Structure 1
Amino acid sequence: MGVIVVLVLGTTAAGLWIRHALAGNVETFADPFANLTARAPQQVPGDGREPATNILLLGSDSRISAGDPSQWEAGAQRTDAMMVVQISGDRKDVSIMSIPRDSWVDVPGHGRAKINAAYSYGGPPLTIQTVEQLTGIHIDHVVVADFESFKALTDEIGGVTINLKNPQTLAGSDFNSGAQLLDGEQALAYARERKTLPNGDLDRVNRQQAWMRAIIAQVFDNGTLSDPTKLYSFLHAVTNTMAVDEGFTIGQMQDLALGSRSIRSKDIHFMTVPTAGTGMSEDGQSIVNLDPDVDVPLFEAFATDMVGDYLREHPDAVELLPATVN
């Protein structure tokens, strides 16, 4: 959710006092890049533009031990969501790419495994290494978000409106299809469901994205940005939901935000890595198979800060988050 802090700080003149007030509220973990040797190179544009900023967002039910590998147990702490958030070098748009948690990939030092196992085996450092090896995208910062806390964040802004593709029951309440206002408990139930969805975890990824999109849209539309009290309360709630690498300071967030202050919700594009469907691993795990023929060009577009051009030139290559979601 660091992207929300960046976007919101970029739209308000109150950024300076918010910066100081929130600095102590952000949980940090030790530099996950310190001991990484083989890194995806950072692509520096030759036309004078700033390079894109790539944030690896890891969603989990808990941020406990984010920076202490000695407390991990293999299989006990995996990420429920994994997204690469790219703020373009010209600071005009944001591209958010989800990697399904069951994607079957090479995890350095551990062989083939689901990509979310990287966090269990080695926390943020191994997850960065795994994602960079898979995609070639240079990761600049890591945010570990506590999705359980999104309940409070959603309630803080008065709920979120999500377009439901089908009637459904969420947290004991029945909803029709179409635009529905969900409170925090209902939104969490919506984002966690996968067993009843036709495409399982892939539909769940869309729901996670739809929730994030709805939060961003609500903040821009409900007067939060023009009300200092609402703004501080919202940002306080956001920073309570996440832990960040120690190099991603509030000051850095604000510097990035000021350059991105023209971005609005319409400039944020959500997508999922194209896949070749689901399958079974040799050891009997249900997995998601990626599709290198389609994925590699998309990864290259992210690595070179050409996502916008790629999507325009190949409109059928990647499915963007639809208006209504299963």
Structure 2
Amino acid sequence: MTYQVGYDEPKPTKRKGRRAALIIVSVIAVLVVGALVAAMMYLNSLSSAYEENAQVFEESFPEEEGRPVKAEDDESINILLLGSDANGGSGESENLPDVPQGGRSDTMMFVHIPEDRDSVQIMSIPRDLWVEVPGQGQHKINAALSLGGLPLTISTIESLFDARIDHVAAVDMLGFTGLVDALGGVTVNSSYEESFTTGEGFTFQPGEQTMNSEEALSFVRHRKSFPDGDLQRVKNQQAFIRAVIDETLTPGNLSNPGRVQDMVETFSPHLIVDDTLDSSTVASLGWNMRGAANSVDMFTVPTDGNGYSADGQWIFYQDEAAMAEISSAIDDSTLDDYAASR
């Protein structure tokens, strides 16, 4: 399947705000859905819900020649996550990509799961990062989707970090909203020291408060009230991720077959995955990662400033020293240490 993505200069629009929510969705896809399927494998109808509803990429990985090769004893897992604007996105493009329900992909995340499965590192990749796209010259990293679909995107990211991608998944926004609704809302602990009101008219206080899906979306999108803008928004996203994970994995939820089945059946139709990421793989991964819920490290690939390309595109320049550090950390399973230093 192929993708078309835009090249517009970033602007503080609703579309950019939606990308914040997409990051949340992608994280939940791995940490929550996997754990839910694993915890309830005895429900045949539930394990089949993922298998029946999650869509599969028709074409995922590039040709094997030239791809990074893992050591035989390396049992770490790297997953590429894509966030789709489908069912809630801008809808501005007439040539939307074939991600869940048809939408555009604006978010790329590299998820590293170490061999011990006791933690997970989630690395956001700026869509405007200026990189070498194999066989195509220099472009923004998201251009690989339109230039060669998912295989070229994987080749680009594998070349960037000299690390093999084992799985790929994409998810759209209705999966997020449906999951929050299925949970009956989530209680989020806002770290911001003052109250703030979003453009949608929701007011949030410091400390814990229960949010429905509309309030949660507004919470993770908002940035205008904060002196440090995106930095506080990232904190809000992290607080929300923790809230969803904590709420989903409560004994009350996991012991309620109806609630769990509702969550999986609500979320799984909004997933699209590679053909090796079947229900048994997701279940095994989710179960083995059940102890990682309190060890989720999130960071963004460092950049070396911004500017304009020769053809006038607004871009982020690579921090080549940081790229080398990240590559080494992935290779020797110390990405958790690198993330802690950010």
TM-score (norm 1): 0.79
The answer as to 2:175 corresponding to 1:152 is no
Q: 2:57 aligns with which of 29, 36, 41?
A: 29
Cα 1:100–1:198 change in 2 (3 A) is farther
The answer as to 2:217 corresponding to 1:188 is yes
Question: Equivalences for 1:164-313 in 2 at 5 Å?
Answer: 164-165=191-192, 167-170=195-198, 171-193=200-222, 208-221=237-250, 223-261=252-290, 263-311=291-339
Matched length: 301
Indicate conservation of the 8 Å contact 1:78/1:120, yes or no. Answer: no
Superposition deviation, residue 275 in structure 1:
2.3
Question: Equivalences for 1:42-61 in 2 at 5 Å?
Answer: 42-45=70-73, 51-61=75-85
Name the CA distance, whole Å, in 2 between partners of 1:298 and 1:4.
26
Indicate conservation of the 8 Å contact 2:118/2:292, yes or no. Answer: no
Cα 1:103–1:22 change in 2 (3 A) is same
Question: Which residue number in structure 2 is paired with residue 41 of structure 1?
Answer: 69
SS in 2 for 1:101: coil
Question: Which residue number in structure 2 is paired with residue 143 of structure 1?
Answer: 169
Superposition deviation, residue 205 in structure 1:
6.0
Indicate conservation of the 8 Å contact 2:175/2:268, yes or no. Answer: no
Superposition deviation, residue 96 in structure 1:
1.2
Name the CA distance, whole Å, in 2 between partners of 1:267 and 1:304.
19
The answer as to 2:139 corresponding to 1:119 is no
Unaligned 5+ runs, structure 1: 64-70, 319-326
Unaligned 5+ runs, structure 2: 1-28, 88-94
Indicate conservation of the 8 Å contact 2:49/2:264, yes or no. Answer: no
Name the CA distance, whole Å, in 1 between partners of 2:75 and 2:314.
38
Question: Which residue number in structure 2 is paired with residue 321 of structure 1?
Answer: none
Question: Which residue number in structure 1 is paired with residue 190 of structure 2?
Answer: 163
Cα 1:131–1:157 change in 2 (3 A) is same
Name the CA distance, whole Å, in 2 between partners of 1:131 and 1:201.
24
CA RMSD of superposed structures (Å): 3.0
Q: 1:19 aligns with which of 37, 47, 56?
A: 47
Percent identical pairs in the alignment equals 36
State the Cα deviation string for residues 26-76 of structure 1 (Å, max 9, x = none).
11112411535321222443xxxx61111110001129xxxxxxx768xx9
SS in 2 for 1:42: coil
Indicate conservation of the 8 Å contact 1:8/1:225, yes or no. Answer: yes
1:91 is matched by which residue type in structure 2?
R
Name the CA distance, whole Å, in 2 between partners of 1:172 and 1:222.
34
TM-score (norm 2): 0.76
Superposition deviation, residue 220 in structure 1:
2.1
Indicate conservation of the 8 Å contact 1:3/1:85, yes or no. Answer: no
Superposition deviation, residue 219 in structure 1:
1.1
